[in-house]
C-alpha cells in the first residue's frame, strides 16, 4: 500500500506507515491494522518451525489415497481418528510365483519383481531368491516410495540368508551409496560367519554413513535392523544384527558428520539393486519399513528369539 496520506489520527488517513500500521476503509468504516514486521526470517525458531512444516507435508504425501481420505473424514467430523498403521510397508514375500510382491501393511506399497526371481521356502513361509548364479540381474522394484526427508525418522528390518561375498552389495534402498546424491541405502557383505554392513543416507551436499566389518554372525539366517532418528547427523544411524546393537563407535571411515540439503530423491526403492553398485546375491525374507526409530523392545519383538515373526508391531 502507498505511504500514509492525511493527518495521522484523522478520518481521512490512508496508506501505511513503514508497512506496520495500515489505514483502510472497510464498508465505510475507517480501520487501522497493525502488522508486525518479520525481523529475522532465518532465526533458529523459524528454521525449526519450517522444518516441522516440511516434515508434516512429507508425511502427508507419503500416505496412500485411502489413508488421506480417512484423515479427511476425521477432520470433517465424520469418523473417529484412524488408527496409525505400525508399518509403512511390510513384505512377507510369501507369494508362490508371479511378479508381484504384496505389501501386507494395508498401505498398498506393492513391488514388481525384475527378471524373474523365484519365491522359495525361507525364514517364515516363503521368501525371494535373488541372482543365485550372480548374473541374473534380479531385484524388486517398488517405485518412488520410502522417499524420506532428512528430518524423518525411519527404520528398516529384513532377514537374509546365504553368502553375498566380501563386497558390500545392496539389500534395500533408493540411494547411491558412496557415489553421492540423495536417498538411503543398506549394503551387506556376508561370508560364512563373517558379516559387514554399510548404512548410509545422502543428500546432494554430503552423506552420513556408518560401516562395520568382521562381525561374527550365524552361518544361516541373520536378522538386520537399521534405524535413523531424523537428526541429520551420522550419530543418528544405528545397526542391529540378531538383536544386538553393533553400531560402530569412534570410527568414521569417511563421509560427513551431518547432512546438508534435502535427502529426497527421484529414484525408485529397490530390494537387491543399486544402479551404481549392481545386484545382491542372497535369499531375503520379511522386509519392513517403519516411519519411526524402532525401540530396543520393538527390535526384540521382530527378532523373536531368533524365530522371527510375520505379525505387525
- Alpha helices by DSSP H, listed for the chain, are 44-61, 65-75, 296-303
What's residue 253's pLDDT? 63
- Whether the CB-CB separation of 193 and 218 falls below 8 Å is answered with yes
Q: Can you give the pLDDT at residue 44?
A: 64
* pLDDT reported for residue 108: 93
Which residue in 280, 272, 146, 159 sits closest to 201, CA to CA? 146
> What pLDDT sits at residue 127?
97
- Alpha-carbon distance of 135 to 3, in angstroms, equals 74
CA gap 201, 186 in Å, rounded: 9
* Predicted pLDDT at 157: 98
Report the predicted TM-score, pTM, of the whole model to 2 decimal places: 0.75
Q: Are 289 and 156 in contact (CB under 8 A)?
A: yes
Of 133, 147, 152, the closest CA to residue 265 belongs to 147
pLDDT, averaged in runs of 10, over the chain (313 residues): 53 62 64 60 66 72 72 68 72 95 94 96 96 88 96 96 87 84 94 92 90 89 97 94 89 78 94 92 96 95 96 89
Does domain 89-306 sit in CATH 3.40.1080.10? Answer: no
Who contacts 24 (Cβ-Cβ below 8 Å, separation ≥6)? 1, 14, 30, 31, 33
* Tens-digit pLDDT profile for residues 207-227: 999 988 888 999 999 999 999
Domain ranges, ordered by start, for the chain: 1-37, 44-75, 89-306
Residues 51-63: pLDDT tens digits? 667 767 777 777 7
Amino acid at each position: 500500500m502507498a505511504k500514509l496520506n492525511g493527518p495521522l489520527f484523522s478520518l481521512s488517513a490512508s496508506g501505511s506507515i513503514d508497512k506496520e500500521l495500515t489505514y483502510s476503509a472497510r464498508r465505510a468504516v475507517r480501520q487501522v491494522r497493525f502488522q508486525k514486521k518479520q525481523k529475522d526470517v532465518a532465526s533458529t525458531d523459524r528454521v525449526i518451525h519450517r522444518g516441522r512444516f516440511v516434515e508434516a507435508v512429507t508425511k502427508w504425501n507419503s500416505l496412500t489415497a485411502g489413508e488421506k481420505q480417512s484423515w479427511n473424514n476425521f477432520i470433517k467430523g465424520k469418523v473417529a481418528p484412524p488408527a496409525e498403521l505400525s508399518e509403512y510397508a511390510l513384505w512377507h514375500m510369501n507369494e508362490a510365483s508371479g511378479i508381484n510382491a504384496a505389501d501386507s501393511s494395508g498401505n498398498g506399497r506393492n513391488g514388481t519383481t525384475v527378471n524373474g526371481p523365484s519365491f522359495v521356502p525361507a525364514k517364515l513361509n516363503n521368501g525371494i531368491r535373488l541372482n543365485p548364479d550372480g548374473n541374473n540381474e534380479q531385484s524388486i522394484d517398488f517405485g518412488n516410495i520410502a522417499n524420506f526427508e532428512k528430518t524423518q525418522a525411519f527404520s528398516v528390518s529384513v532377514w537374509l540368508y546365504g553368502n553375498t561375498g566380501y563386497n558390500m552389495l545392496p539389500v534395500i534402498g533408493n540411494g547411491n551409496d558412496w557415489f553421492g546424491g540423495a536417498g538411503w541405502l543398506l549394503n551387506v557383505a556376508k561370508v560364512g560367519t563373517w558379516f559387514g554392513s554399510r548404512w548410509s543416507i545422502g543428500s546432494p551436499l554430503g552423506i552420513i554413513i556408518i560401516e562395520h566389518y568382521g562381525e561374527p554372525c550365524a552361518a544361516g539366517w541373520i536378522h538386520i535392523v537399521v534405524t535413523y532418528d531424523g537428526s541429520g547427523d551420522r550419530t543418528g544411524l544405528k545397526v542391529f544384527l540378531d538383536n544386538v546393537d553393533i553400531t560402530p563407535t569412534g570410527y568414521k571411515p569417511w563421509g560427513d558428520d551431518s547432512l546438508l540439503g534435502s535427502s529426497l530423491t527421484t529414484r525408485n526403492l529397490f530390494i537387491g539393486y543399486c544402479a551404481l553398485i549392481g545386484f545382491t546375491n542372497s535369499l531375503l525374507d520379511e522386509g519392513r519399513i517403519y516411519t519411526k526409530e524402532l525401540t530396543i523392545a520393538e527390535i526384540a519383538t521382530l527378532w523373536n528369539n531368533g524365530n522371527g515373526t510375520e505379525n505387525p508391531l
